Amino acid sequence: MFFGTYDSGAHPRVLVLAQGLRSRGAEVVECNAPLRISTAERIAAVRRPWRLPLLAARVARQWWRLLRMVRRMDPAERAATDAVVVGYLGLLDVHLARMLFRRTPIVLDHMTGAAETAADRRLGGGVRQRLLRAADRAAWSRADVVVVDTDEQRVSLPPDVRERGVVCAVGAPDAWFDAAARADAPGERPLRVVFFGLYTPLQGAPTIGAAAALLADRPVSFTLIGHGQDEEATRRAAAGAAVRWLPWVSPDELPRVVADHDVCLGIFGTTSKAHRVVPNKVFQGAAAGCAIVTADTGPQRRALAGAGLLVPPGDAAALAGALERLAADRDELVRLRQEARSMAQRRFTAHEVVLPLWQRLDTLAVDGTGQPT
């Protein structure tokens, strides 16, 4: 059972795990009441505590819906549930899951903690950081399995939690593979480059803006999709460049829009978190048949295994140079697009990325009292 207030449209990670488990033979059901509060709104509530009662009221309303769903379940079906997967951003939901499913293994799709997210968003330390770290620890304590997305993220967990950690790469939902365009030679048109995201410090979007400005007189066009914290800085850095700015694209349309470009950009931030993750856009862009250009970090180097161009984090000149080379060498562009697509088909499908979780669930035998052994 996938459980919680997650939103698989905004965060397709949940969709990938569900698709992967189904592909391996699991019967997957959902108990889902989307909260539809963005990470930015959650951070705003932490920054301005007077917003917390409103957030709490919305959580309570959705929890009541979840409680009613569980109560309407057939008792036999509820008893037959082998595991409850609390979807991404389930820091609070995991407590409700444990209360409702006391004898069922609980999986928390964690990826990143509240304290780490706040720090990455440049939210100050002090009391707030201590409270957020306590919230992370409380959530970890309720889960039998804690799923993260890279080895570096698992190592960053406390030792007792690390033992329960499972690494599942973010991967790409099936729709991204379906949207892939043929990697034909694009002729004489400009190189088409796309970035999509929430403009968080981790993503390093101002570096993209500065690279676009450096390429203002080159045959390179940019589509930047999204909005967020570093958007204004990115717009200033990109002044004079050929950029199409889109506030957002619906989850159903985004794969097709990205697949219509030659290059999908990853992340270029210099924060500590940026050195521990591989963003969804790297997996999704590769699945859609784009060449991938992203920062040279350990996790991204391992994930791409040569099927992409890597540049130093935060280095706009290096990023501009890599894109200029692809604009001039269309054979290399086609090769990188094909290699990225092939890599995605081998390693980034839901079926493949869910394997470590599937194997861990197989080891969570249940004894006669219903408790995991």
What separation in angstroms does the CA of 133 have from each of 104, 186, 242?
Answer: 26, 49, 42
Task: Give the pLDDT score at 111.
Answer: 83
Contact 224, 205 (CB under 8 A): yes
Nearby residues of 225 by Cβ (< 8 Å), 6 or more positions away: 194, 195, 196, 197, 246, 247, 248, 249, 254, 257
In tens, the pLDDT along 22-52 reads 999 999 999 999 998 776 677 666 667 777 7
Task: Give the pLDDT score at 344.
Answer: 97
Task: Give the pLDDT score at 78.
Answer: 87
Judged against a pLDDT cut of 60, whether residue 116 lies above it is answered with yes
**Whole-number Å distance between alpha carbons of 203 and 166:** 24
**Whole-number Å distance between alpha carbons of 334 and 237:** 29
Average pLDDT over residues 323-351: 96
Judged against a pLDDT cut of 50, whether residue 156 lies above it is answered with yes
Lookup: tokens for 360: 């861990």
Average pLDDT over residues 40-68: 83
Span of 57-66, 178-187, 243-252, 338-347 with lowest mean pLDDT: 178-187
Lookup: tokens for 228: 């967020």
187/319: higher pLDDT: 319
* Topology of the domain comprising 2-171+351-363: Rossmann fold (3.40.50)
Helix, strand, coil shares of the chain as percentages rounded to 5?
A: 50, 15, 40
In tens, the pLDDT along 280-302 reads 999 999 999 999 999 999 999 99
The domain spans of the chain are 2-171+351-363, 174-348
**Whole-number Å distance between alpha carbons of 279 and 267:** 7
Task: Give the pLDDT score at 367.
Answer: 40
Quick one: pLDDT band at residue 187, thresholds 50, 70, 90? low
**% of residues, the chain, pLDDT over 90:** 79
Strand partners, 292: 264
Among 150, 169, 135, 139, residue whose Cα is nearest residue 45: 135
Lookup: tokens for 313: 């984090």
In tens, the pLDDT along 69-113 reads 999 999 888 888 999 999 999 999 999 999 999 999 999 999 887
Burial of 34 (0-12, 13-18, 19+ CB in 10 A): middle
Judged against a pLDDT cut of 60, whether residue 372 lies above it is answered with no
In tens, the pLDDT along 224-268 reads 999 999 999 999 999 999 999 999 999 999 999 999 999 999 999
**Whole-number Å distance between alpha carbons of 302 and 171:** 14
Judged against a pLDDT cut of 50, whether residue 3 lies above it is answered with yes
Q: Which amino acid is at 71?
A: R
Judged against a pLDDT cut of 80, whether residue 182 lies above it is answered with no
**Average per-residue pLDDT in the chain?**
91
CATH classification of 174-348, choosing from 3.40.50.300, 3.40.50.970, 3.40.50.720, 3.40.50.2000? 3.40.50.2000
Contact 309, 293 (CB under 8 A): yes
